[in-house]
Each structure stands twice: as structure tokens, then as C-alpha cells.
Amino acid sequence: MTTLFDSYTLGAIPLANRIVMAPLTRNRAAAGFVPGPFAADYYAQRATAGLLIAEATQVTQQGQGYQDTPGIYTEAQVEGWRVVTNRVHAAGGKIFLQLWHVGRISHVDLQENGGAPVAPSAIRAEAKTFVGNAFVDTSTPRALDLDEIPGVVEDFRRAAANAIRAGFDGVEVHGANGYLLDQFAKDGANHRTDAYGGSIENRARLMLEVTKAVVAEVGADRTGIRISPVSPASGISDSNPQPLFDYIVDVLSALDLVYLHVIEGATGGDRDFAPFDYTSLRRRFANTYMANNGYTLELATTAIESGAADLVAFGQPYIANPDLVERFKQHAPLNTIDQATLYGGGAKGYTDYPALAEQTA
């Protein structure tokens, strides 16, 4: 019987096990939105995961929505990420980078010249962002002009190329959690009447155009995508998500993407938040299905053994447990997260969580 600890081949990439570290925003980037001085330690500590997905990384300044998050659009950022990937590979790990444009989940203080964030429609999100070391309301966005949209696609393409130059094994398009691509796809945020609004095909267009551009740049075998069909994260909603995401996944499967990363339920919350048939996505997608959200060791074991998923991504458990794979193998207790050090700061609450071997000693 297949287990969580068995090896797996992701496209052409050998993974040591089927445990994935999900992308986790920690707000510790240095000047110039370059990965911070402890980032290489942080990811190398967790390299026993079959796959690491590095934190959401903005593809352009316009795509930034929170303070001190890293980018992948300048040479300094590429060089900073290269330090991280070199350390992860030296530790025997594999690592993808999540490509991110937040859209309306931003604040004027983070935008060039204090401009408004951009979105499919000028509808402010009922959500918070992290600016000035505090959680504040998002700013009211402006609707992207039709002639600006090709530039967004190009930003993702260039970012994907930069990620591969920085040494990443692949990239993940962030199409989830109420950020820009999710905003275009879902009718709660998209009230457009042009080629990017209205029908399912039109609303899905930007997510699919971005993904096609990334595939053309770095290859389908190095491109994954993350979606969250029913999650209300960042104030997002859709009136009928099943046919929307069935359509999206049909197209993604035809593109031969290496994996589909699905947040099942409400991000970081109730797995049964709203009715949705995830087995439909599993059936429609020809390659690797990565399950995420609220998975325990027991639930993940069942998912792998039953074939409901090929890989399982864990988020919060990886914050305090750099050796999560070993703790799972030994059914050892998990460290508790220090909530006060989740966002921003230095090594405390970032690279100082003890491994099981240290605690045993």
C-alpha cells in the first residue's frame, strides 16, 4: 500500500516523500524585498519535505499586498533567492516558488506613488492587510484597463523565468485565496462586461492566460497551480464555483501542468465550509493532485492510501516543526506555534524552533 512516506516522481523531479511544505507568508524580506538573512536557514531546515513551496512572492511591485514580502522581479531578488535554493539543494531538498499578484488585497502605502491597487472591478475587499506592523483595511482598488492585462501576464512570465534562473525546481501560479487571478475568476469580485467578465470562460481567462504564458516560458513539467474553489479568504466569493472550477481544471489538465494544488474548504478553517465535489477535480486533472487544508497525519495517510491525493501539503505545522516528516514518522508531539512571531521580525519564531533530535538530547 502506498504511504505518505513513499517516494514520488513529480514530472521528472524525484521527491523523497509525499509531504509538501505549503507556502507560508512570514513577512521577513530585507531591503529591496530580497529574501531576508535567515531565509536560507529556514528553508534548509525544512528540506526533508518531499517538496517545499516557497512563500508567496510578488511578480511586480504592483502585486505586493503586505509589508516585507519578497519579490522575484529584480536582479537583487533573484540573487537573494539563489542563496536559498542552493542551501535547499545542498540539504537534498526540492523547492518551487509561488508566483503572486495580490490584486485588490493591498494598500496605497505599498503601491508606487501611493496609487490604488488594481482589481478586475473597483470593489474593495472586506479584508485586512499587514502594513506598518499592523493589520489594516485594504484600500479601494481601481479596475484594470483592458490594455493593462497583457502586462500582468508578462509580469508572471518574467517572474517564472527569474525563478528558474534563481535555481528553483519549478513554480506555482497563485490562483487562490482571493488574490488577483482568483478575483478575476469569481463573480463576487469580477463585475466586468468585457472579454474578462461575465461568462465562466471570460472570468477564467486571465488565470488561464497567465498559466499558459508560464508553461511556455519554463515548461509544463515545472509549472503547478494553486486554487481554492470555495474559500472565502480575503473576502472572495462565487455564486456557483463547481462549474467554474470544473472548467478551469479541464483546461489546466490539457496544458499538462505537473500538479494541481487544491485548498479544500475555507483556507485555514472549516474543510466543509461549502458544498463542493473535489473528487470531480481529481478525476478531471491528469497529473499530480496535491491536497491542502487542515490535514492531520491521520487524514493525510487516508488520502494517500485511498488514492484521493498524490501529495499532501501542510502549512501551519511546518512553522514550528522544521522536521515535520520525522515527527510524523515517529508519531511524536508537535511544537506549538508562537503566534506573536508569525509575521515580521528576525530569527525568533522563524529559525529557532527545535528539531525532535535536539529535544530528545
pLDDT tens digits along 168-204: 999 999 999 999 999 999 999 999 999 999 999 999 9
pLDDT tens-digit profile of 316-360? 999 999 999 999 999 999 999 999 999 999 999 999 999 998 888
Q: Where are the domains of the chain?
A: 8-313
Asked if pLDDT for residue 302 goes beyond 80, the answer is yes
Does the predicted TM-score (pTM) go above 0.75? yes
What pLDDT is stored for residue 360 in this prediction? 81
Read off the pLDDT of each residue in 76-104 and give the average, rounded to a whole number.
98
pLDDT tens-digit profile of 106-161? 999 999 999 999 999 999 999 999 999 999 999 999 999 999 999 999 999 999 99
Read off the pLDDT of each residue in 51-56 and give the average, rounded to a whole number.
98
Read off the pLDDT of each residue in 301-307 and give the average, rounded to a whole number.
98
Question: Which residues are part of the catalytic machinery?
Answer: 179
* CATH 2.40.70.10, domain 8-313, yes or no: no
Asked if pLDDT for residue 85 goes beyond 90, the answer is yes
- Cα–Cα dist 162/73, whole Å: 7
Give me the percent of the chain exceeding a pLDDT of 70.
100
Asked if pLDDT for residue 361 goes beyond 80, the answer is no
What pLDDT is stored for residue 147 in this prediction? 98
pLDDT tens-digit profile of 267-300? 999 999 999 999 999 999 999 999 999 999 999 9
